[in-house]
């Protein structure tokens, strides 16, 4: 049996994990920096680097609590994309461990990591090809995955990533960071059909654009002030109005993504879809995709909930096929 160590420090999660050849997760330790960044409503790069620097030792040590490091076959670490200072911490730790214990190291692509979060969740049993939709705080990517190591990138976001749009809308509504989970929670109390926000389908391209939708929410909130419907701007967090805004925004995002992906399955003649990245934790989005899958005879796969957001198990899992 081979064992892989993964190290992830590309953004605001300091993570280390051990995965075996059969995609069993031996350990999966994540220190989330969300509390540190939340007063700023976004990740502050310098703070992120400092926190990785402070926590990585503790996180790696915990991952090896019941495991002998000498059994590790390969150390993978996130090499790109991400915050430069943050990436450097993970790379330095990976290289140092590799040097001390004579273990090879491999720098890997974080986006492949998200794709592997789904492969890992299904223990490598998903057939190729499949359409991959990565929806995270930093990326929105549509690709055709042809094998364990080959993907053709079809489209990216031209401006805000989906998760970024959730975070910015939460900020303009004076909610909390990260925006996704809080918007999802408030949306459960609102009516998704109450406000007709735009759906940026862009079906003439595989790219995405979510900044216009975010701006539409801003204009809507501002218009409340001028029409004096709502005396306090932004509306207070407990109000029905704010739940309606959250539900309608979430509906616009989900409808845009489902429409585009279902369109892609037809155009590319591929009925398998894997959806990953932090936004894939959203239950409403999962439900909508699963319903559409039933209707259109599609297979849809999501990562386990704890593998949706950034983690090192997905990075460790890359070692099996990316290192020869
Ligand atoms: O994948 P991830 O942990 O980090 C990046 O690689 O960017 O994704 C973080 C993003 C944040 O923007 C956060 O608001 C969003 O994922 N997110 C969600 C949910 N949970 C996290 N968005 C919508 N619904 C959620 N339940
Ligand atoms: Zn990520």
Single pTM value for the model: 0.95
What confidence tens digit (pLDDT) does each residue in 4-22 have? 999 999 999 999 999 999 9
Q: What percent of the chain has pLDDT over 70?
A: 96
Query: Right CATH number for 3-119+308-322 from 3.40.50.200, 2.60.40.1220, 2.30.110.10, 3.30.420.40?
Result: 3.30.420.40
Ligand 1 pocket mutation pick from 40, 136, 160, 175 by most atoms within 8 angstroms of CB = 136
- Alpha-carbon span 211 to 165, nearest angstrom: 7
- What is the reported pLDDT for 260? 97
Query: Helix 283-296 to helix 179-187 angle, to the nearest 10 degrees?
Result: 70
Tell me what the mean pLDDT of segment 183-208 comes to: 96
Q: Which atom of ligand 1 is nearest to the CA of 163?
A: 12
Q: Which ligand is nearest to the CA of 286?
A: 1
Give Cα 162 distance to the centre of its chain: 9
Q: Is 196 exposed, middle or buried (0-12, 13-18, 19+ CB in 10 A)?
A: exposed
Mean of pLDDT over the chain = 95
Alpha helix (H) ranges present in 143-206? 162-172, 179-187
pLDDT digit string, tens, across residues 200-252: 999 899 999 999 999 999 999 999 876 655 555 566 666 889 999 999 999 99
| Domain boundaries defined on the chain | 3-119+308-322, 125-303
**CATH of span 125-303:** 3.30.420.40
- C-beta of 277 in contact with ligand 1 (< 6 A): yes
Query: Hey, is 224 helix, strand or coil?
Result: helix
Cβ-based neighbours of 170, under 8 Å, separated by 6 or more: 41, 176, 177, 178, 179, 180, 182, 183
3-119+308-322 and 125-303 have identical folds: yes
For ligand 1, whether the C-beta of 303 sits within 6 Å is no
Evaluate whether 88 touches 53 at the Cβ level (below 8 Å): no
Cβ-count burial 54-73 (b if 16+ within 10 Å, e if not):
ebbeebbeebbeeeebeebb
Residue 58 — φ and ψ, nearest 5°? -65, -40
């Amino acid at each position: 049996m081979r064992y892989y160590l993964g190290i992830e420090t590309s953004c605001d999660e300091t993570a280390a994990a051990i995965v075996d050849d059969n995609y069993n997760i031996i350990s999966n330790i994540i220190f989330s920096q969300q509390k540190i960044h939340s007063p700023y409503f976004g990740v502050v790069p310098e703070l992120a680097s400092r926190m990785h620097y402070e926590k990585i030792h503790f996180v790696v040590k915990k991952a090896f609590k019941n495991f002998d490091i000498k059994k590790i076959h390969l150390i993978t670490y996130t090499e790109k994309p991400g915050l430069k200072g943050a990436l450097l911490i993970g790379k330095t730790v990976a290289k140092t461990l590799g040097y001390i214990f004579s273990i090879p190291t491999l720098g890997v692509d974080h986006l492949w990591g998200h794709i592997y979060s789904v492969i890992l969740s299904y223990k490598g049993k998903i057939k190729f090809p499949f359409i991959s939709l990565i929806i995270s705080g930093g990326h929105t990517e549509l690709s055709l995955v042809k094998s364990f190591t080959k993907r053709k990138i079809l489209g990216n976001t031209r401006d805000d990533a989906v998760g970024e749009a959730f975070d910015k809308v939460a900020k303009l509504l004076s909610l909390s960071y990260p925006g996704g989970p809080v918007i999802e929670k408030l949306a459960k109390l609102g009516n998704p059909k109450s406000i007709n926000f735009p759906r940026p389908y862009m079906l003439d391209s595989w790219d995405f654009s979510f900044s216009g939708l975010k701006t539409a929410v801003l204009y809507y909130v501002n218009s409340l002030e001028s029409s004096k419907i709502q005396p306090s701007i932004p509306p207070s967090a407990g109000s029905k109005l704010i739940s309606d805004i959250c539900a309608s925004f979430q509906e616009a995002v989900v409808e845009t993504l489902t429409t585009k992906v279902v369109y892609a399955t037809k155009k590319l003649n591929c009925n398998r879809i894997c959806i990953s990245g932090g936004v894939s934790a959203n239950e409403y989005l999962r439900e909508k995709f699963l319903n559409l899958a039933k209707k259109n005879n599609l297979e849809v796969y999501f990562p386990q909930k704890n593998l949706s957001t950034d983690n090192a198990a997905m990075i460790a899992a890359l070692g099996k096929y990316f290192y020869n």
